[in-house]
């Protein structure tokens, strides 16, 4: 192969790699509050400090940074939810779930972790499903939020996102 063709091939390969990286850098990001359809007066809340890991439901406070989540599209309909109050700290926290854990929690963000990737449901029915655990956020009648398997007519599995400033 001539040197000119080698350079052109190398530039083409570099351009092919740059396009997906640019698309990833421009991923859609929006700040939201999350609440179950069965309880519109409470929102999903992360820990009060970056040292905690509890994710709970609390009365909605539109000014509370630990009730705001930065949703960022990552791949194929999945997104991460980063706790706004942790952004810029040494330990940024993301909504996380594991198959062996009944409760969702906040853990140090890692966008490639399947445990931190969520979809709003492939059926567009309002559920927030975890990619690793294959379960969905569920507001229990007790007021706790848990990870439960899909279906079963569980009303607490439908969630709303509201844009949060």
* Per-domain boundaries in the chain: 28-163
Residue 35 has pLDDT above 50, yes or no: yes
Q: By the 8 A CB rule, do 143 and 43 touch?
A: no
pLDDT score for 99: 87
pLDDT score for 13: 38
- Considering only CA atoms, give the Rg of the chain: 19
CATH code given to domain 28-163: 2.80.10.50
Neighbours of 154 (CB within 10 A): 17
Residue 1 has pLDDT above 60, yes or no: no
Neighbours of 21 (CB within 10 A): 9
- pLDDT tens, residue by residue, 68-126: 999 999 988 999 999 999 999 999 999 999 988 899 999 999 989 999 999 987 667 88
Q: By the 8 A CB rule, do 157 and 136 touch?
A: yes
Residue 16 has pLDDT above 50, yes or no: no
- pLDDT tens, residue by residue, 136-159: 999 999 999 999 987 766 779 999
Q: What is the 8-class DSSP label of residue 101? A: -
Please state the separation of Cα 126 from the chain's center in Å: 14
């Amino acid at each position: 192969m001539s040197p000119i063709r080698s350079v052109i091939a190398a530039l083409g390969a570099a351009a092919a790699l740059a396009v997906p990286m640019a698309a990833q850098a421009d991923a859609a990001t929006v700040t939201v509050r999350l609440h179950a359809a069965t309880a519109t007066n409470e929102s999903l809340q992360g820990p009060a400090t970056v040292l905690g890991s509890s994710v709970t439901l609390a009365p909605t406070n539109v000014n509370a940074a630990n009730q705001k989540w930065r949703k960022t599209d990552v791949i194929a309909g999945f997104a991460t939810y980063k706790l706004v109050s942790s952004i810029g700290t040494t330990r940024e926290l993301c909504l996380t779930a594991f198959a062996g854990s009944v409760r969702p929690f906040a853990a140090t963000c890692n966008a490639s972790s399947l445990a931190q990737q969520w979809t709003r449901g492939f059926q567009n029915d309002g559920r927030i499903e975890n990619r690793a655990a294959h379960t969905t956020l569920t507001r229990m009648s007790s007021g706790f939020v848990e990870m439960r398997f899909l279906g079963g007519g569980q009303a607490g599995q439908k969630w709303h996102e509201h844009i949060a400033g």
